Structure 1
Amino acid sequence: MKTSNDLIRSVLPFVLLLFFIPTANSQILKKLTKKAEKAAERTVEKRVEKETTKKTDQALDSILEPGAKGKDKKKSPPTSGENPSNTSSNSGGENPTGPKSITVYSKFDFVPGDKILYFDDFSTDFIGDFPSKWNTNGSGEVVTINESPQRWLGILPGYNTYYIPDVPALPEEYTIEFNLLAIGLDAKTSSTATLQIALSDDPNFKRGDNWVHAYIPFCQYGAIGIRMRNFINKGADGEINNVVNADLRTAVVDQPHISIAVHKQRFRLWVNEKKYVDIPRAVPMGSVLSTLKFQLTSFKDGKEQLFISNVKVAKGGLDLRRKLLSEGKVSTNGILFESGSANIQPRSMGIIRQISQVLQQDGAMKLLIIGHTDSDGDDTANMALSKKRADAVKNALITIYKVTADRLETTGKGESEPVADNGTTDGKAQNRRVEFIKQ
């Protein structure tokens, strides 16, 4: 027969177990809740990362030889977008150029300058070298990606690291264009990951006393916007420090084209076909912002990478309509084509749109459209290509802007009438042009 002490010893463990069960259950529930929260966070991160990775892959697929990505992917290498006289066949490129793409750009109002001051696609540089027409206080190298012939300058992050193209002193009115390729962006990319585009009165590696900065954001977990800043006489009245609303998360992983127009104090900026910034008095009045600089910040070294190419600076770019009306002719190298083809790159539509506006204003005007190429490739092939390109511009005026066909004639001059030295990159860019002559 058990004693009372024996009973106590037998029952006590069960009593204690009952006492601790609620506490144990509470701790277990807390742990499960925390695990569920973490799992949910991981799921959200994975989904965001999956979407951004998908966009990055799409951007890469559009410019690279995809190799193992599958036989249904495009196999053609990319074009530089600025070397349309190369007669090799190519159906790739940064944007498809079917009617849908061109229609999207039909209201694009950026017009590049008509006198090229600087152009670099790194075609004359050795792979692995820092480009000969740039300067930096950091490091960088010209690269190709996979089997694409397109060359890029890979730039590195740093709060005091600048990349400065050898652009001549900037005039009062000019345009800037370039392509970007970002790799490795995901949901953890910093909200301060930006490319700073700077116009400065300092020709070296400092901000200077007067400057204008535009910050292109690469963050993927939120719409950060484009930050605009200026500095006047080391901070006098009139300083701008503002964030312009813009959701560029999709654009920056899809090889964006950046366009900037500066006309005296006015500063405008487009990403692809959309204008995001138009500030009438951003550039300090009376100061000479002679130098263009790039600076990359908050990219994770080795994981997130940024590349730049097809950097073009041109004088002018304000209004071709007045020149056509007053002088009866206008020549432009801002209408770009895919390499070796007559497919118009959609971002060229700003110029074609202006030409259509002149034709709408003067209902009796007729135009001759003349295509020109540089000297790369076969003479006969270039002659035929230049005519096809003039025909493509005519077709865009007819189909997009409803100009009647009987008001437009076309011809091609190939490489027979150069306006600059075909032995240089800048000269070739000037020779690739389209002329409009009033009849």
Structure 2
Amino acid sequence: MEKLGKTIKIVGIFFLLFGFVQTTNAQFLKKLGKRAEKAAERAVERRVDKETTEKTDQVLDSILEPGSKGNGQGGNPIPQSTEPNTSGSSSGGGTSDGNSGMGQTAEKSITVYSKFDFVPGDKIMFFDDFANDFIGDFPSKWNTNAGGEIITMGDSPQKWLELKSGYNIYYVPDVPKLPEEYTIEFDIGAVGLDRQTSSTAQLRVTLSDDDKFKEGTNYAYAEIPFCQYAAIGVTVENRINGKREIRSTVKADLRDEILDMPHVSIAANKQRFRLWINEVKYLDVPRLLPAGAVLHTVKFHMNNFKDGKEKVFITNLKVAEGGVDLRRKLISEGKISTNAILFESGSANLKPQSMGVIRQISQVLQQEASMKLKIVGHTDADGNDASNMELSKKRADAVKNALVSVYNVSSDRLMTEGKGETEPVGDNGTADGKAQNRRVEFIKQ
């Protein structure tokens, strides 16, 4: 009787746990994609079994794969866009890194970025948001030795390149030969990650002297971790003339960030290599890169992801020459123009990544107490002339407001003007040209 009683208790506990799994699973699937549930999602994943993972995969497949027939539970797949991205057509110049449309995300306060010191290059060499590519195609301005396709997320027009994981699989954008000083920026998206995601699941960004599908004799790379069950740091490694000189892993917990479409920024200044994820600088290695412009190619490589389940995407890749200190240029020349101040598409809402440049402007004004500046906004040619003129003025005003509210610059030292699309510096018929035209000027008065 005692053994029978224990058996009944065990059976009861089993059914209780099974009921908990079913309830939790339903709640998890209902809330999938909401940023506010990211932390809870990981906790749930630690309690549920294979059934939860399988159902989650079905939902993800219905979202991510064009032509999906549904999730197997009677639900409808989220519609896929089959047209080129036209979000800029009414935006009056969009943004050089667009709206990342995966899930619901709360905008970070720009004050969080008030000490962010990344400054993008001011001469755009390459920009691709895949606006001119069709869903399901491999992007026209990239090369690979494997495969990949353009996808959209839900009803957002933002396009993403889905990468494939595998040994010696590389994705190589058609970036012109890299100079000694340049910056690289892009957005990451990821779905299907859980506590079973490998600790070696990483996205590698490589700078190489090989322009095809090998590491090269000279290279340097940073590896961004995607593991969710433990905090895996950011790894950096190099080879100079075939000899490894540096390999190290910096402690970092990126589990929440990697689920929330992080923005990655890289600055290469001769031999120095720096990497930021959102507003935090994780790497700053003074002599990682070989002397001279030896590493002329950018490559992306995924490793140790579960095929078909763990999906990684990138978009808004921008490579720009420069990234030098704008403060000295403003003081010596009295004028600078920058594409590094970014706005949400079709609006005057500053993106937090813009604070690197705005911070430098505030430092100039602090040092030069008598200096006054005119802030001039410019857009590309998308949209009508009147709307672009109005938007460019609002964007100039937004920069002024950030200088006043975040860095305590006196408002009477700043004036603003909008010039819309009237003074292009690039071809509005190309993505690169549009990105060049979306700019802000600071002119000493």
TM-score range, shorter chain: 0.7 to 0.9
Once residues 98 and 180 of structure 1 are traced to their aligned partners in structure 2, the CA distance between those partners, rounded to angstroms, is 16
Once residues 99 and 435 of structure 1 are traced to their aligned partners in structure 2, the CA distance between those partners, rounded to angstroms, is 25
Once residues 105 and 122 of structure 2 are traced to their aligned partners in structure 1, the CA distance between those partners, rounded to angstroms, is 23
| 1:165 corresponds to 2:173 | yes
How far 1:127 moved relative to its partner?
1.0
| 1:247 corresponds to 2:253 | yes
Do the aligned partners of residues 92 and 158 (structure 1) sit closer, same or farther apart at CA in structure 2, a change above 3 Å counting? closer
Match of 2:369 in 1: 363
Once residues 99 and 428 of structure 2 are traced to their aligned partners in structure 1, the CA distance between those partners, rounded to angstroms, is 25
- Whether the 8 Å contact between 1:180 and 1:309 is mirrored in structure 2 is yes
Compute the TM-score of the two structures, normalised by the length of structure 1: 0.81
- Whether the 8 Å contact between 2:102 and 2:153 is mirrored in structure 1 is no
| 1:207 corresponds to 2:215 | yes
Write out per-residue CA displacement over residues 287-331 of structure 1, whole angstroms, 9 at most, x where no aligned residue: 610000000011111111001000000000121101100100000
Q: Which amino acid aligns with 2:361?
A: I
Once residues 91 and 129 of structure 1 are traced to their aligned partners in structure 2, the CA distance between those partners, rounded to angstroms, is 21
How far 1:147 moved relative to its partner?
1.1
Do the aligned partners of residues 174 and 99 (structure 1) sit closer, same or farther apart at CA in structure 2, a change above 3 Å counting? same
Match of 1:336 in 2: 342
Match of 1:290 in 2: 296
Compute the TM-score of the two structures, normalised by the length of structure 2: 0.80
How far 1:46 moved relative to its partner?
13
Once residues 147 and 47 of structure 1 are traced to their aligned partners in structure 2, the CA distance between those partners, rounded to angstroms, is 22
- Whether the 8 Å contact between 2:94 and 2:343 is mirrored in structure 1 is no
Matches within 5 A, 1:405-420: 405-420=411-426
Match of 2:237 in 1: 229
Residue 150 of structure 1, aligned match among 142, 155, 158: 158
Backbone CA RMSD of aligned residues: 3.7
Write out per-residue CA displacement over residues 186-223 of structure 1, whole angstroms, 9 at most, x where no aligned residue: 11100010000000000110000000010000000111
Q: Percent identity?
A: 62
Three-state SS of the structure 2 residue aligned to 1:324 is helix
Stretches of structure 1 that go unaligned for 5 or more consecutive residues are 1-20, 33-44, 60-66, 70-76
Once residues 206 and 26 of structure 2 are traced to their aligned partners in structure 1, the CA distance between those partners, rounded to angstroms, is 35
Q: Which amino acid aligns with 2:440?
A: V
Stretches of structure 2 that go unaligned for 5 or more consecutive residues are 13-24, 40-74, 78-84
Match of 1:62 in 2: none
Write out per-residue CA displacement over residues 249-271 of structure 1, whole angstroms, 9 at most, x where no aligned residue: 01000000000000000000000
Three-state SS of the structure 1 residue aligned to 2:342 is coil
Alignment length (residue pairs): 399
- Whether the 8 Å contact between 2:94 and 2:344 is mirrored in structure 1 is no
Do the aligned partners of residues 280 and 96 (structure 1) sit closer, same or farther apart at CA in structure 2, a change above 3 Å counting? farther
How far 1:173 moved relative to its partner?
0.2
Match of 2:124 in 1: 116
- Whether the 8 Å contact between 2:400 and 2:416 is mirrored in structure 1 is yes
Match of 2:22 in 1: none
Once residues 50 and 226 of structure 1 are traced to their aligned partners in structure 2, the CA distance between those partners, rounded to angstroms, is 32
Do the aligned partners of residues 302 and 99 (structure 1) sit closer, same or farther apart at CA in structure 2, a change above 3 Å counting? closer
Matches within 5 A, 1:299-314: 299-314=305-320
| 1:261 corresponds to 2:267 | yes
Residue 396 of structure 1, aligned match among 399, 402, 407: 402
Match of 2:45 in 1: none
How far 1:138 moved relative to its partner?
0.3
Which ranges of 4 or more aligned residues in structure 1 deviate by more than 2 Å? 21-32, 45-59, 77-80, 90-100
How far 1:285 moved relative to its partner?
2.2
Q: Which amino acid aligns with 1:305?
A: K
Do the aligned partners of residues 57 and 423 (structure 1) sit closer, same or farther apart at CA in structure 2, a change above 3 Å counting? farther
Match of 2:437 in 1: 431
Once residues 8 and 257 of structure 2 are traced to their aligned partners in structure 1, the CA distance between those partners, rounded to angstroms, is 45
Q: Which amino acid aligns with 1:108?
A: F
Larger Rg: 1
Three-state SS of the structure 1 residue aligned to 2:255 is coil
Do the aligned partners of residues 195 and 47 (structure 1) sit closer, same or farther apart at CA in structure 2, a change above 3 Å counting? farther
Write out per-residue CA displacement over residues 324-356 of structure 1, whole angstroms, 9 at most, x where no aligned residue: 001000000110101111000011000000000
Once residues 51 and 223 of structure 1 are traced to their aligned partners in structure 2, the CA distance between those partners, rounded to angstroms, is 24
Once residues 422 and 105 of structure 2 are traced to their aligned partners in structure 1, the CA distance between those partners, rounded to angstroms, is 28
Write out per-residue CA displacement over residues 80-108 of structure 1, whole angstroms, 9 at most, x where no aligned residue: 9xx76149xx9996899999610101110
- Whether the 8 Å contact between 1:178 and 1:258 is mirrored in structure 2 is yes
- Whether the 8 Å contact between 1:97 and 1:346 is mirrored in structure 2 is no
Once residues 281 and 429 of structure 2 are traced to their aligned partners in structure 1, the CA distance between those partners, rounded to angstroms, is 35
